[in-house]
Amino acid sequence: MSAFGAIRTPRNIVFGAGQRSSLPNYAKHAGKRALIVTDERLAADRVFLEMVDGVRAAGVEVKVFSGVIAELPVECIAAGVNVGKAFGADSVIGIGGGSCIDAAKVIALLLAHGGKASDYYGEFKVPGPTLPLISIPTTSGTGSEVTPVAVLTDPDRAVKIGIASPHLISETAICDPELTYSCPPSLTAVSGADALTHAIEAFTTARREAGPTLVHDHVFLGKNAFSDHYALLAIKHIGASLHAAYTNGSDYAARESLMFGAMTAGLAFGTAGTAAAHAVQYPVGAMTHTPHGTGVALMMPYVMQLNRDWCAPEIVEIGNALGVTNLGGSTADAADATIDAIADLFASVGIPATLADLGIVRDELSTVVEQALGSVRLVKNNPRPLDVPTMNLLVDASFTGDRSALSAPKNERKAS
Ligand SMILES: NC(=O)c1ccc[n+]([C@@H]2O[C@H](COP(=O)([O-])OP(=O)(O)OC[C@H]3O[C@@H](n4cnc5c(N)ncnc54)[C@H](O)[C@@H]3O)[C@@H](O)[C@H]2O)c1
Ligand SMILES: [Fe+2]
């Protein structure tokens, strides 16, 4: 098969301890009046205030909007747009976790094109470039600083909803691991686990026929030569650092490696896409009010087991990147050893084991199945086709904690 590669990426990506000092110059080139989008916690932080001063010292007028709320309820977007309009913003800088960066993306979109967030839900609805956007993450997790998607909570929708468009990609992403030193262990675990699921789902997602319009037909293109490269790089870095950064937040080498992994995972899934673990988390997160990273990481070993016979060689490559040592025996055995290692890693950073642990009750499982299958953008990416019985199997196993029922019967296996 001939190689196909595509990558959707910011114009500038800067990575390294202390690299937030590159912000003023990028801000100066992005515009003259910058709206800085963040949350209340960060707006009072000394390092944040120094960054704002640095932008001002470069001759850029600044207005700070600090009304972002975690998991991004849509009302806070409208408030940010009003502040940006009144200020006459010509550029946007998002500083914070994934919620702040997603807010900055959507505010930059609405300031450029008007309307409300719901006008752009779905894929390819953004008509053109947004205001120039600089994104600076303070968690090692979502990769939102490099991805073409923003995820919102809308009270009119049962589950979280996305706006996906190449126009949403930041012009510049600045990843400074020093900004993550203040993350408490639980946030390090949950956001880092989200990043690892991005890399695993990107690496195992379905590959599409590379026809002449593939890159224009889908925002998320499926597995390809570039996304594979970034996914394996991310798995290697996150696998080596997640537990260390969780147990010792002053392990700066681990902090750096984790952030590098989260950003490269963003490059991988921002082009390839994610799949079933993310599809199931959307309803589960809405029903239990648990963080995105907790839900996707909990689901990941079950999803890998469900998909094993559709992508066993890829799962073994993931095991190699993670440094799993017992990869002998058949491909299926090595894939199982990798899935066990992922489950152990997530358990070691406090990710719960079952949907029941998150507070889901049996009566809610059919709603989870129905709403998960409604995430067509994610479901179509899964390597094993997902119909109602297969999704039932997945959700039921992740409720009871029994992964053994998930591998396909031998006669239905695609690969072994
Ligand atoms: N756009 C994408 O590509 C993408 C991908 C995955 C997830 N998401 C979305 O991102 C959001 C999750 O983002 P997140 O996991 O980064 O968390 P978050 O942005 O929701 O932040 C969670 C909490 O951590 C705090 N926080 C952030 N940085 C901190 C730091 N350095 N020190 C101490 N506290 C800090 C925040 O103030 C907030 O209270 C969800 O809404 C999810 O749906 C987006
Ligand atoms: Fe995610």
Question: What CATH fold (topology level) applies to the domain 185-412?
Answer: Dehydroquinate synthase-like, alpha domain (1.20.1090)
Q: What is the mean pLDDT of residues 337-359?
A: 98
* 12-180 matches 185-412 in fold: no
Q: Which residues line ligand 1 (CB under 6 A)?
A: 39, 41, 70-72, 96-100, 102, 138-139, 141-144, 147, 149-151, 160, 179-180, 182-183, 187, 191, 194, 292-293
**217: CB partners within 8 A, 6+ apart:** none
| Ligand 1 atom nearest to CA at 182 | 32
Q: Which ligand is nearest to the CA of 179?
A: 1
Residue 405 — pLDDT band, cuts 50, 70, 90? confident
Q: So what's the pLDDT on residue 327?
A: 87
Q: CA 63, CA 367: separation in Å to the nearest integer?
A: 43
Tell me which residue of 245, 229, 104 sits closest to 188, measured CA to CA: 245
**Closest residue to atom 32 of ligand 1, CA basis:** 183
Residue 359 — pLDDT band, cuts 50, 70, 90? very high
Q: What are phi and psi of 149, to 5 degrees?
A: -135, 150
Domain boundaries, the chain: 12-180, 185-412
The pocket of ion ligand 2, defined by CB under 5 A, consists of 194
**Closest residue to atom 26 of ligand 1, CA basis:** 97
Q: What is the pTM of this model?
A: 0.96
Q: CA 235, CA 97: separation in Å to the nearest integer?
A: 21
Helix (H, G, I), strand (E, B) or coil at 153: strand
Q: What is the mean pLDDT of residues 160-169?
A: 94
**403: CB partners within 8 A, 6+ apart:** 301, 302, 305, 339, 343, 397
The 10s digit of each residue's pLDDT in 30-46 is 999 999 999 999 999 99
Q: Are 364 and 396 in contact (CB under 8 A)?
A: no
CB atoms within 10 A of CB 88: 12
pLDDT > 50? residue 119:
yes
CATH code, 12-180? 3.40.50.1970
Proportion of the chain above pLDDT 90, given as a percent: 90
